[in-house]
Amino acid sequence: VASNIVNIVEVGPRDGLQNEKGVIPVSVKAELISRLGKAGVQTIEAGSFVSPKWVPQMAGTAEVLLQMERFPGVRYPVLVPNQKGLDAVAALLAAHPAATDEIAVFTAATDAFTRANLNVDTAESLERLAPVARAALDRGLRVRGYVSVAIACPYSGQVDYARVRHVAQALVDMGCYEVSLGDTVGVGTPTQVAEMLEEVKKSIAVGMLAGHFHDTYGTAVANVLTALEHGVRTIDASVGGLGGCPYSPGATGNVATEDVLYALQGSPYHVAGGAAGGTIDLAKMVDIGWWISEQLGRESTSRAGRAIRAR
Ligand code: HMG
Ligand code: MG
């Protein structure tokens, strides 16, 4: 029987901000992470060490990691696409050993999406990531894996869930402690999520899986609940519903963290919290969702965040 404890991985500072057109100051990104830690978030994806030519918004991640306020017991993983990214993390750790203790590597269930995101096909991405994961593990870092387009691909359509299973297995085989299954485009329905998870669970223990849902078609909260029903206990979410993927045209942000917290109120599930102890503070998350959205010149897109603000 799966535990009723749900872990939220807050991906707003990374997935949420990576797609922004304007320049976001390092100080704003650092303050976002500080505020999230204060609100009780346990795991905060702090940024990425990717090519600034590909994703300019993530260029200042090392500075963000040094500026932000840290809370005990909170993890601050960063995305790494290749050896060069890991070298940058290693250089940072040489001067600041506590900067991070976890990286995330990423690939996709289709060759077309992997080419758009990493400039190689899926098999080649796995070949390149395996030594990066090995080197990270040897340095004592934890390694998380992502499989993008786990339901459908913006370039090649409906995805074969057996491919999702094989790619996720390859990530587990290279030492990932957890694999996050991404509905990158945000088109998945609960039925599709259930079918995809049942396929992946044929090979991988459900405790090693996370759900990562974008909300383009408004199904993300339903997909989160479906994933929980199927035993998944780690959910990626983004405060204020920030985000979109640069290689997934039209995709909106991740499921809003506030919406997940609201939907789980009074349920048998308990959302684990970090520094604030107990759980994540919904009211504080609503304020953060509005604060960061206003920094970006717009309103929070979290439905719960909007409704709570209007009360
Ligand atoms: P490439 O152009 O094939 O690589 O890109 P390259 O080796 O030819 O390098 C190009 C330039 O980038 C070179 O600079 C490199 O030095 C530099 P130049 O010599 O021309 O001045 N470079 C780097 N700089 C900093 N850090 C690095 C790095 N690597 C190369 N790590 C590459 C290949 C993998 C670099 C590129 O495709 C890339 O950075 N991709 C990342 C794309 C990305 O960040 N996507 C978004 C995150 S994934 C996502 O959002 C999905 C997820 O949320 C789940 C879901 O929703 O599905 C996780
Ligand atoms: Mg994403």
- The stretch 211-237 carries a mean pLDDT of 97
Task: Pick the residue whose CA is nearest to atom 23 on ligand 1.
Answer: 51
| Residue 119 in contact with ligand 1 by CB distance below 6 A | yes
Known catalytic membership, residue 153: no
- In sequence order, the 6+-apart residues with CB closer than 8 A to the CB of 294 are none
What global pTM score does this model have? 0.97
User: pLDDT of 24-70, one tens digit each?
Assistant: 999 999 999 999 999 999 999 999 999 999 999 999 999 999 999 99
Q: What pairs with residue 8 in β-bridges?
A: 235
> Backbone phi, then psi, for 12, in 5-degree steps?
-55, -50
Instruction: Measure 124 CA to ligand 1 centroid, in angstroms.
Output: 14
Residue 110 gets the label, from left (phi > 0), alpha (psi -120 to 50) or beta, of beta
- For range 279-292, the mean pLDDT: 97
pLDDT over 90 at 206, yes or no: yes
Q: Whose CA is nearest to atom 15 of ligand 1?
A: 51
Ligand nearest, relative to CA of residue 180: 1
Find the radius of gyration of the CA atoms of the chain. 18
Ligand nearest to the CA of 237: 2
